[in-house]
Structure 1
Amino acid sequence: MSQSEHTADGHHIARQQEFAAHIRSPKEHPVPADVDPQRMKIYSDLFFNNVKGFLDGTFPVCAEIIGAARWHEIARDFFASHHCQTPYFLEIPQEFLQYLEQQFQPLETDPEYFYELAHYEWLELALDVSEEEIDQVFDANADLKQSIPVFAPAAQAFVYQYPVHQISTDNPAPEPHQTALIVFRDRQDQVRFIETNMMTIQLLIKLQQQELSGLAAVEQLLQESGISITEVALQGGLAILEEWQRQGLVLGGRIA
């Protein structure tokens, strides 16, 4: 590469950086020289509104709770300061979660549960677009006591410090209390949640990670929890699996 070509290439890169810097933060970076400001504004608004549209669609409750002006301010700061590691628009909401966790500077007026609420709203999208499918042959009428339960695809469990599934403009200031949720996509591809407790979440995780019959999983959980393995305790654990099947979390069972 000749010296003139190298210089021209460097100038081109510098121009691209000026262009991108202004699009990210128009107030902090001037319009590049020889670029029409009105045309530049169209580009800047187009890029920002594209990204903000994905945030609006994924985090509607967050946006309503925090108010339009503050939501716009947060979206603008995310757009300006966070360097996304993915070119896929559908992954922008996950990048926004990383921004909230690593860069976001909350105001005193921002709710303490803001990140948890955003995570819950993101989880709904993640399960909705998940390509995970059931690759196991199962019997919908199998006895869950003797068979290995098969779960709906992409079922996940999380423990929040606030009842995030109950937060709305009608309930913007809930009292903090530990809330265990199982979120899954049912047979009709609808994302649903089940409010539960730590012990049933442990049962779910155990069955997802090990090939155990319903009975074996309940017995192990009782033993590990220091609870006597009585008929009443076993029936209580198996009743949870039956309830999960009615709710669509458990699709059926494989014969162990």
Structure 2
Amino acid sequence: MPEKTVSFQQIQYAFAAYIRDPNRNPPPHGTALARMRVYRELFFNNIENFLANGFPVIKSILSKSDWFALVQDFYAKHRSKTPYFAEIAEEFLDYLQNERDPCFNDPPYLLELAHYEWTELALAIAEGEAPQESAALMSAPLEQTIYISEVAWPMAYRFPVHKIGPGHEPTDPSEQPTCLVVYRNREDTVKFLEISPVTYRLLQILEEEGSISAKDCMLRVAKELGYSDPEGLASHGAETLRALGKRGIIGAIDPPACSV
């Protein structure tokens, strides 16, 4: 009886398994090993290049061997759910959050730093625009109904992720959380701004509410944080609202035009 032909699908699975992890999977039967190594190198280098561009700080702080071991582990284990190269960074973040086995070489801030770097890339391609500067918000900020930009994301981290790099690699979390807002400005440039916990909570409320009276929002923050003088905090917060408005982090809803 003639030998049963191996299905094309089985060959595909064997090909993909070898490309992902050649140390644990043999090449498809009958293929030239030298050719398979070329395919493996091309595929792996492509993914490594995208991750290096998306997470340059992580690559810069890891040794060369640790970086390539991290990329290889992602490449071998993770099953991406997107066909788009621009979303590989999000897949890598998902891997770190849900699939990465703890490794003694991993810095304690690895996941947070990856999230911060991913945010910059995600905002660069996110839909939406920064609101136009509002003259009303500049002149009387507490009297406006305000909202947060579609392309402004408030974040809180245990580590000062925006300062991490070669020569500055903390081993323990900060005593206080690092609060940031990462945003895309009116010139379509991604920026970050370190903010106080008060401003962070204000932006959180805007995310939750959609839009709210600026004064009501400030008073709510003051009450939540236990300020003894909520009205004083609201008045002090007026300058913060102006600064956020100038950067395009928040906008104001113009009142309807009066009909004659």
Give yes or no for TM over 0.5: yes
Identity %, equivalent residues = 34
- Structure 1 residue ranges without an equivalent (≥5): 1-6
Q: The residue matched to 1:254 in structure 2 has which SS?
A: coil
SS of the residue corresponding to residue 55 of structure 1 reads helix
Distance in 2, matches of 1:117 and 1:230, equals 35
Is 1:237 paired with 2:237? yes
Runs ≥4 residues deviating over 4 A: none
1:66 equivalenced with 2:62 (yes/no): yes
Deviation at 1:34, TM superposition (A): 1.9
* Inter-CA distance 23–230: structure 2 relative to 1 (3 Å threshold): closer
Equivalent AA in structure 2 for residue 197 of structure 1 = S
Structure 2 distance, partners of 1:22, 1:69, is 21
Partner of residue 216, structure 1: 216
Give the Å deviation of 1:218: 1.0
Structure 2, gaps ≥5 residues long: none
Residue identity opposite 1:162 in structure 2: F
CA distance in structure 1 between the partners assigned to 2:143 and 2:171 by the alignment = 42
Kindly provide the CA deviation profile for residues 143-195 of structure 1, in whole angstroms up to 9, marking residues without a partner as x: 32222224433211111110000001131236521211111101111111111
Give the partner amino acid of 2:119. L
Give a deviation string over 1:83-136, Cα, whole Å, max 9, x none.
Answer: 1111111111111111111221233232101111111001100111101236x7
Q: Tell me how far 1:25 sits from its aligned partner.
A: 0.8
* Aligned equivalent of 2:39: 43
Which stretch of structure 1 is more off in the superposition, 148-157 or 20-29? 148-157
**Residue identity opposite 2:238 in structure 1:** L
TM superposition score normalised by structure 2? 0.87
Q: Secondary structure at the match of 1:176?
A: coil
Q: Secondary structure at the match of 1:48?
A: helix
Shift of 1:76: 0.6
Instruction: Please give the alpha-carbon distance, in whole angstroms, between the structure 2 residues aligned to 1:46 and 1:75.
Output: 14
Deviation string 1:48-100 (CA, Å, 9 cap, x unpaired) is: 11111111001010011112110001101110111111111111111111111
Match of 1:129, as an amino acid? I
- What TM-score does the superposition give when structure 1 sets the normalisation length? 0.88
The answer to whether the aligner puts 1:206 opposite 2:202 as a matched pair is no
CA distance in structure 2 between the partners assigned to 1:70 and 1:208 by the alignment:
38
Rate the CA distance shift 1:198–1:218 in 2: closer, same or farther, 3 A: same
1:75 is matched with: 71
Counterpart Cα distance in 1 of 2:128 and 2:39: 36
Cα contact 2:219–2:231 (8 A) shared by 1: no
Please tell me whether the aligned partners of residues 148 and 203 of structure 2 are also in contact (alpha carbons under 8 angstroms): no
Residue 202 to residue 230, structure 1, CA distance change in 2 (3 Å): closer
Looking at structure 2, the residues matched to 192 and 95 of structure 1 have their Cα atoms a distance apart, in angstroms, of 23
What does residue 113 of structure 2 align with? Answer: 117
Change (3 A) 1:95 1:139: closer
The residue that corresponds to 2:183 in the other structure is 184
**3-state SS of paired residue (1:85):** coil
Q: Which residue of 2 aligns with 1:167?
A: 164
Q: Does 1:84 align with 2:80?
A: yes
Instruction: Identify which of 17, 20, 25 aligns with 2:16.
Output: 20
Does 2:142 align with 1:145?
Answer: yes
CA distance in 2, matches of 1:108, 1:85: 28
Residue 253 of structure 2 corresponds to residue 250 of structure 1: no
Question: Which residue identity does 2:233 align to in structure 1?
Answer: A
Tell me if the contact between 1:23 and 1:43 (Cα under 8 Å) persists in the aligned partners.
yes
